[in-house]
Structure 1
Amino acid sequence: MSRGNKGLAALAALLLLLPLVLTNSYQYDVAIRIALNAIAVIALNLLIGYTGQISLGHAGFLGIGAYASGVLTAQFGWPPLLALPAGALAAGLLAFALARPILKLKGHYLAMATLGLGIIIAIVLTNEARYTGGPDGFAVPALGVAGLELAGEKAWYALVAGLLLLVTWLACNLIDSPAGRALQAIHGSEIAAQVAGVMTTRVKVRIFVVSAVVASIVGSLTAHYVAFVTPGLAGFFHSIELVTMVVVGGMASVFGSIVGAAILTVLPQLLSTFEGWETVVFGAILMGTMIFLPRGIVPTLAARLRKGAAR
């Protein structure tokens, strides 16, 4: 059994057994938020970790999904199962339209461009108060179909756990495919990838669109789960949280994405008594990871275990 299959089996077992130790609504809530963050971070890791294209405004796509679902269901009466793909389509089209000019940039120029995109989306969501409720946000109807609503932490856990397992499986298969090897070739050397016949621009645009669509779906689910949405979901700090999850868990590591999401979703709960210091702690963790674990937690530990087994 390959390492990817072993990891999937372990993840499936963990997701199946976890409800046995979750004893209250709060613990279920944390588990659901970890799964939602992990789904978004896996897709973002495909862009950052595997392809080497930084994005500091990715939370903007979560905001598009959340507000599309919220506005279309609350103000226009759309069923959630139509509003959610509509938001994903909007995010995908925006990402496709902007990917070519943005992804031509390199290094800090690319980082600044994606940062600007995220800020613009957050500002639009804040200022269009007629539809978005402005800075205060607005209530979002429950996720449901034909009068049946998804209610209760156990039902939501089953939904997001299944979706996390599916996204993890798809990501692992993508990485092991020729398309995944093209992503990693671009990260290694874009010029060498072009010489090898990889259509680098097309590949980068596609993975940018995929990561945006997945982020939008996560945003929609988050809005329906929380039953409320504010511009903070699309804000700069949330984008930095997502990037930090990628770096801490391990760039170019699908299962590292899950670990990073788990750690940095639980951490704010533990720091709730130190209100206002979360940003400082996030920065310190990011600095410490880059200094002592530059490859992230999972790749570093995996390398050490393999080295120890080889002795």
Structure 2
Amino acid sequence: MLNQFMQSRLRGLIVLAVILYTIPAFLSNPFHYDLATQMAIIAATVVGLNLLVGFAGQISLGHAGFFGLGAYFTGIMTGNYGWSAIPALVVGGILVGILAWVVGRPILRLKGHYLSMATLAVGFIIAIVINNESQITGGPDGMPVPPFDVFGWELSPFGSYSLFGIELNGSQAWYLFAAAVLLVAVWLAQNLIDSPIGRALRSVHGSEVAARVVGVNTARYKSLVFVISAIYASVMGGLYAHFQGFITPAVASFDFSIVLITMVVLGGMGSTMGVILGAVVLKLLPQVLTHFQEMEAVMFGLILMLTMIFMPKGLLPTLQMAVSKRLKKRAGGQA
């Protein structure tokens, strides 16, 4: 049974890889590639957030703060101190993870609305610090970020590259790189979910009391997954900063935190592939609805409301249930 479950995970990862590397066939200009790259980076962020929300059942309304910290740490260290991108991403992830552990230990003892307010406060504090420390972060005006570099090799949206004899422009190269990062993020998340840690997280989500009765250290596991999700956000924030080439305090804003949590809920909490779909849909909707002009915001809210009413478990889980029911009916009719 376990082997079948793992094979199903592997098939899902292979399907995702095929989809990601087939998408360029439908992208016709740099804007489309830029949008797809943003989707991949943000999807990897919500994959980490889903570990906290979907599997451990712990809410976070300030996760953009960790994303912003990763973005600004990488931007500052590479732009002002000459660091390479990889060391900046790694050290930034470690520091943000330590901060998440320190902050998470006390606030994760809270539950429900109290936990929501505590994580919201953490996000607000981070955003205020980034906004006010103008000598370091550039304040409300933001700051430039150098191109992503590895051992002197730079990845820039304006460059030209060759991969296995195929000539790529900077936007195409960035998309392929972001797609590879998303695949790694999903693979790591799936391995965590299938491990004893993942089973402990699901038990915490089901019932903390029952989990403690069977010997699960709920405080430890909640803090651990909070740290992991924060590291995901930090690393993806750093990549986003290099891709954009310029960052502002908006990357750590409350609005962005709400967008991230909405992606998880919309796609399907507890579904890794579902939250990726949620990220894609929520990122694409504003582009599709621009034709409605002044009614864009109304249409956007209406679509989200109807989705949550008729698909409360999220997009992908609801679609999977509908397909499963249809297949069962068909099998029953043939019998």
TM-score normalised per structure 1: 0.95
Q: Distance in 2 between matches of 1:284 and 1:213?
A: 33
Matches within 5 A, 1:78-227: 78-151=83-156, 152-227=170-245
Residue 293 of structure 1 and its aligned partner are, at CA, apart by 1.2
Residue 268 of structure 1 and its aligned partner are, at CA, apart by 2.2
Is contact 2:285–2:300 with CA below 8 Å preserved after alignment? no
Residue 27 of structure 1 and its aligned partner are, at CA, apart by 1.1
Q: Distance in 2 between matches of 1:59 and 1:110?
A: 16
Distance 1:247-1:230 versus aligned 2 partners, 3 A rule = same
Is contact 2:286–2:300 with CA below 8 Å preserved after alignment? no
String of CA shifts for 1:195-241, please: whole Å, max 9, x gaps. Answer: 11111111111100000001000100000000000000000000000
Distance 1:100-1:251 versus aligned 2 partners, 3 A rule = same
Is contact 1:56–1:243 with CA below 8 Å preserved after alignment? yes
Q: Which SS does the other structure have where 1:198 is aligned?
A: coil
The alignment-based identity, stated in percent, is 52
1:62 aligned partner: 67
Residue 285 of structure 1 and its aligned partner are, at CA, apart by 4.4
Instruction: Please say which of residues 133-142 and 266-275 is displaced more in the overlay.
Output: 266-275
Residue 70 of structure 1 and its aligned partner are, at CA, apart by 0.8
Q: Distance in 2 between matches of 1:64 and 1:278?
A: 31
Q: Distance in 2 between matches of 1:51 and 1:160?
A: 27
Q: Distance in 1 between matches of 2:55 and 2:300?
A: 23
1:16 to 10, 18, 21: 21
Distance 1:209-1:166 versus aligned 2 partners, 3 A rule = same
Is contact 1:244–1:286 with CA below 8 Å preserved after alignment? no
String of CA shifts for 1:151-183, please: whole Å, max 9, x gaps. Answer: 211221121111111111221222222211111
String of CA shifts for 1:47-92, please: whole Å, max 9, x gaps. Answer: 0011110000000000000000111111222222221112111210
Where does structure 2 lack aligned partners over 5 or more consecutive residues?
Answer: 157-169, 330-335
Q: Which SS does the other structure have where 1:144 is aligned?
A: strand
Residue 280 of structure 1 and its aligned partner are, at CA, apart by 5.6
Q: Which SS does the other structure have where 1:56 is aligned?
A: coil
Residue 278 of structure 1 and its aligned partner are, at CA, apart by 6.7
Q: Report the aligned-residue RMSD.
A: 1.7
Where does structure 1 lack aligned partners over 5 or more consecutive residues?
Answer: none
AA partner of residue 112 (structure 2): G
Q: Distance in 1 between matches of 2:211 and 2:152?
A: 51
String of CA shifts for 1:247-294, please: whole Å, max 9, x gaps. Answer: 110001000011001001112223446678776655544433332211
Residue 133 of structure 1 and its aligned partner are, at CA, apart by 0.6
Residue 303 of structure 1 and its aligned partner are, at CA, apart by 1.3
Distance 1:38-1:276 versus aligned 2 partners, 3 A rule = farther
Is contact 1:244–1:282 with CA below 8 Å preserved after alignment? no
Q: Distance in 2 between matches of 1:283 and 1:227?
A: 31
2:270 aligned partner: 252
Larger Rg: 2
Q: Distance in 2 between matches of 1:116 and 1:281?
A: 30
